[in-house]
């Protein structure tokens, strides 16, 4: 997946790929400072910030 999560959600990706989306957010390591979404990889977010363990 090369697109950022913000764009994917706007494109209705979530409806068609809910299981894959859940895997991405299941164990978040980063949070987006712009929209608040979380992800397991830094590159999936627009303005990522590492979540401290």
- Going from N- to C-terminal start, the domains of the chain cover 5-50
Predicted local confidence at residue 53, as pLDDT = 64
- Enumerate the H helices of the chain as residue ranges: 5-10, 13-16, 18-26
Predicted local confidence at residue 49, as pLDDT = 96
Residue 42, phi-psi category: left (phi > 0), alpha (psi -120 to 50), beta (remainder): alpha
N- to C-terminal Cα separation, the chain = 25
pLDDT band at 39 (very low <50, low <70, confident <90, very high): very high
Tell me the mean pLDDT in the region 28-51: 93
* Burial status of residue 44 (CB atoms within 10 A of its CB: 0-12, 13-18, 19 or more): buried
Tell me the mean pLDDT in the region 1-12: 74
Nearest 5°: phi and psi at 4? Answer: -70, 155
């Amino acid at each position: 997946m090369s697109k950022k999560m913000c764009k994917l959600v706007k494109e209705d990706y979530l409806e068609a790929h809910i299981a894959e989306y859940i895997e991405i957010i299941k164990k978040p390591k980063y949070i987006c400072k712009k929209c608040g979404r979380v992800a397991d990889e830094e590159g999936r977010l627009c303005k990522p910030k590492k979540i401290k363990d």
